[in-house]
């Protein structure tokens, strides 16, 4: 049987790494788009790029950028893939307030650039398209749990850009018959998570505090609630979404939520650090058993607008795609801690 060809925009990110591994396991030929950078940016995929057993390159990488229509178009035209996964984004919510125009260009218009090439090729090759949508689009919602029918209320330039991408994906599906689907993914983490996202930041810092390599961790709002899953489970959902009979939109989540503070407590417990919280608001602090202050709140990490409450109802994905998360929050935390400990030879 002819091998399927996949093209991943954003292959060097957390999800790109897990997705390429999954697709290779499923015998796809996997192409990915990387950006030119002054230092190496392929650390997450280096181990799969060169398969030591097969002694040949398993991933085929191309230079491109979401804001460069010419590169987007020429890569798709050259490869003519069966499936395109658009994971490329300026994905940090807080940073999107600092670089709103760039975020709109990459995360919003970038999606349009891909879709329009797919549309122009539709008589030559039917290409399926996956858009990496986000629970951030629900933003200020009052709904306790969010599903595909919940109204969007974006609270950041990132969420607004992703909302444009969500709608333009749906518009190209309805107007031009493109097989284009939106995943609305809630937060998902892993050992490969970017260092400035809160789970990784907490786990990295508390592990170092445990090993006496760091004294303190500074956090922002510890009372927002998130629904955290594992990236490995979520990339499987992406593949299932594109291999569904029809293009559609799906919420991917765990249906559990907790505060950042609760997450800190779980990590501390797993690391055997006993912590006590004292104070309120900006003066809230956490102390270890010896009375050392190990966590402080710093205004610097607060956002101009916050998303307080995210919890996803993934019933549709369960029913239609037969998808459900396999790993729970404790497994996720343990895996992330073990990865950090390994760096120090434990
Ligand atoms: P990530 O680790 O930040 O990876 C983002 C990827 O996009 C990287 O490969 C990055 O390349 C690439 N990229 C950024 N700007 C680009 C540009 N101008 N042109 C081409 N590539 C560019 O994000 P992730 O956690 O894997 O998430 C994957 C996607 O899912 C993102 O679109 C994110 O917004 C969305 N999402 C993530 C979550 C989550 O909780 N992880 C939840 C919902 C939705 P470099 O390596 O060169 O920076
Ligand atoms: N990053 C960060 N750093 N967040 C902090 C900190 C801190 O020091 N202290 C508290 N937080 C709070 C944030 O204010 C937010 O409420 C929550 O922790 C989670 O922040 P992030 O881990 O940065 O993730 P996010 O929820 O803003 O965005 C992630 O998930 C989205 C899906 O809902 C990203 O992966 C997005 O790309 C993704 O779309």
| Stated length of the chain | 346
| DSSP string over 117-185 | HHHHTTTT---EEEEEEEGGGGTT---SSB-TTSPP---SHHHHHHHHHHHHHHHHHHHH---EEEEEE
| Residue minimizing CA distance to atom 30 of ligand 2 | 187
Share of the chain above pLDDT 70, in %: 98
Phi, psi of 49 (to 5 degrees): -60, -45
For 290, counting Cβ atoms within 10 Å of its Cβ (0-12 exposed, 13-18 middle, 19+ buried), the class is: exposed
For the CA of 65, the closest atom of ligand 1 is 19
Q: Which ligand places an atom closest to the C-alpha of 237?
A: 1
In the block, residue with structure tokens 């592990």: 207
pLDDT band for position 49 (cuts 50, 70, 90):
confident
Quick: pLDDT tens for 67-114. Answer: 999 999 999 999 999 999 999 999 999 999 999 999 999 999 999 999
| pLDDT, position 185 | 99
Q: Which residues pair with 219 in a beta bridge?
A: 297
Mutate to test the pocket of ligand 1, among 10, 59, 241 (most ligand atoms within 8 A of CB): 10
pLDDT band for position 52 (cuts 50, 70, 90):
low
- Which one, of 7, 5, 15, lies nearest residue 183 by Cα? 15
User: 10 Å Cβ neighbour count for 43?
Assistant: 11
Kind and range of the H or E run holding 34? strand 29-34
Residue 106, ligand 1, Cβ within 6 A: yes
Share of the chain above pLDDT 90, in %: 96
Residue 10, ligand 1, Cβ within 6 A: yes
Q: Is the pLDDT of residue 53 over 80?
A: no
Phi, psi of 203 (to 5 degrees): -65, -40
Quick: pLDDT tens for 177-228. Answer: 999 999 999 999 999 999 999 999 999 999 999 999 999 999 999 999 999 9
For the CA of 308, the closest atom of ligand 2 is 16
Quick: pLDDT tens for 142-171. Answer: 999 999 999 999 999 999 999 999 999 999
Q: Which ligand places an atom closest to the C-alpha of 159?
A: 2
| pLDDT, position 55 | 58
In the block, residue with structure tokens 């057993």: 53
């Amino acid at each position: 049987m002819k091998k399927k060809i996949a093209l991943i925009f954003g292959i060097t990110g957390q999800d790109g790494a897990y997705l390429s591994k999954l697709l290779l396991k499923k015998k796809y030929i996997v192409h990915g788009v990387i950006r030119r950078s002054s230092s190496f940016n392929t650390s997450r995929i280096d181990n799969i790029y060169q398969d030591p057993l097969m002694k040949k390159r398993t991933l085929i990488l191309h230079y491109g950028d979401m804001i460069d229509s010419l590169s987007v178009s020429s890569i798709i035209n050259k490869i003519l893939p069966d499936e395109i996964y658009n994971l490329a984004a300026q994905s940090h919510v807080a940073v999107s307030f600092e670089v709103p125009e760039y975020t709109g260009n990459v995360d919003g218009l970038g999606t349009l650039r891909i879709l329009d090439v797919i549309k122009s090729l539709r008589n030559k090759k039917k290409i399926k398209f996956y858009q990496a949508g986000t629970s951030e689009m629900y933003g200020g919602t009052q709904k306790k749990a969010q599903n595909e029918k919940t109204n969007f209320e974006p609270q950041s330039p990132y969420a607004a850009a992703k909302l444009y991408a969500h709608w333009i994906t749906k518009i190209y599906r309805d107007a031009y018959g493109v097989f284009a689907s939106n995943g609305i993914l809630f937060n998902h983490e892993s050992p490969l998570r970017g260092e400035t996202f809160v789970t990784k930041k907490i786990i990295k810092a508390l592990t170092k505090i445990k090993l006496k390599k760091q004294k303190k961790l500074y956090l922002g709002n510890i009372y927002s609630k998130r629904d955290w899953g594992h990236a490995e489970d979520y990339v499987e959902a992406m593949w299932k979404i594109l291999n569904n009979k029809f293009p559609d939109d799906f919420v991917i989540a765990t249906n559990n939520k907790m505060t950042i503070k609760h997450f800190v407590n779980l990590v501390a417990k797993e690391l055997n650090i006993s912590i006590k919280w004292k104070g309120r608001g900006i003066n809230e602090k956490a102390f270890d058993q010896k009375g050392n202050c190990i966590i402080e709140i710093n205004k610097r990490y607060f956002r101009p607008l916050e998303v307080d409450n995210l919890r996803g109802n993934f019933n549709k994905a369960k029913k239609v795609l037969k998808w459900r998360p396999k790993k729970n929050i404790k497994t996720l935390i343990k895996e992330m801690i073990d990865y950090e400990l390994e760096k120090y030879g434990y």
